[in-house]
Amino acid sequence: MIRSADEMPTTEQANERSKQLDRLTVREIVELMNEEDRTVADSVHRALPSIAAAIEAISAVVERGGRLFYIGAGTSGRLGILDASECPPTFGVDPEMVVGLIAGGEGAITRAIENAEDDTEAGIADIGKLVTSRDAVVGIAASGRTPYVMGALREAARIGALTASLSCNADSPISEEADYPIEVPVGAEIVTGSTRLKAGTATKMVLNMITTATMIRLGKVYGNLMVNVQATNDKLRERVVRIVAKGADCDEQTASKYVLEAGGDARVAILMIKFGVTATRAIEALRLSNGHFGKAINQLSR
């Protein structure tokens, strides 16, 4: 069905500021893009109350042992997968804690799968295969009306999972399917309908907030330090030493020694230095606190 301009989501409408886009110089194009991009942070700011409410609910689900699922089509799905894939190396969590699903399956990560976003039944099936009532599902759709995501959210709700939605238009149909709707209206794109631009930027910003705030609530950060970072290369091994030096208030030589004894685990090294305990005792404190670093510190402080 062809919609009139007034019926279309604003992300699909023409941007009056870029009507002569193909006649601009490169400098003029990037100036215009930058001006439009600067409005995105303000749009996200206006949505902070609904973002915070969703995060409170999601973090409670994950703290109880549930998982977080992102589900979307096209750019929205890829951004969900990107955010999910960054959680294990950044916060040291199991790859199954935050999972990204995309319409069309893994092949859609690198190439467009025709009509995948219109498949409501596929969204229902993808949720049905993986999600339980203990989990949280965030449906992502810049337009706010993607059938695949709508079906996924309905199935998640039927199962009893917590549901949230993220769209870049006001009064989105997807919002009606979620316990915690988030709407970040970003307006028309400079290339009409290209939601990889402002809508993509807004989506990435909100997803950053969801996982980062959730992981902070779960004790995966100490102060502002990534104490759960996985030291998988030379750069990260050096970072772990710096994190331990800051977290334990010691020099890097001392930090390096304890990092080695801790098997590269910054949390264990910090606890060993701060409380004069063995690696075994530090690991036990972390186990008893379910990996929450702040609670492990409280245990050893008693």
| Residues 265, 271, 272, 278, Cα dihedral to 10° | -90
The DSSP call for residue 148 is H
Give DSSP secondary structure letters for 256-302. Answer: HHHHHHTTT-HHHHHHHHHH---HHHHHHHHHHTTT-HHHHHHHHH-
Whole-number Å distance between alpha carbons of 221 and 214: 10
Given the residues 7, 106, 114, 117, the one annotated as active site: 117
Residue pair 265/242 in contact (Cβ under 8 Å)? The answer is no
The answer to whether 117 is a known catalytic residue is: yes
Burial of 171 (0-12, 13-18, 19+ CB in 10 A): exposed
The H helix count followed by the E strand count for the chain is 11, 5
- Residues 149, 155, 158, 162, CA torsion sign: negative
The DSSP call for residue 103 is T
Whole-number Å distance between alpha carbons of 256 and 96: 31
How many angstroms from the chain centroid is the CA of residue 127? Answer: 18
Whole-number Å distance between alpha carbons of 202 and 137: 19
Residue reference for tokens 């399917």: 177
- Residues 226, 215, 149, 129, CA torsion sign: positive
Helix (H, G, I), strand (E, B) or coil at 220: coil
For the chain, how many residues are written?
302
The answer to whether 86 is a known catalytic residue is: yes
Given the residues 63, 86, 252, 284, the one annotated as active site: 86
Residues marked as catalytic:
86, 117
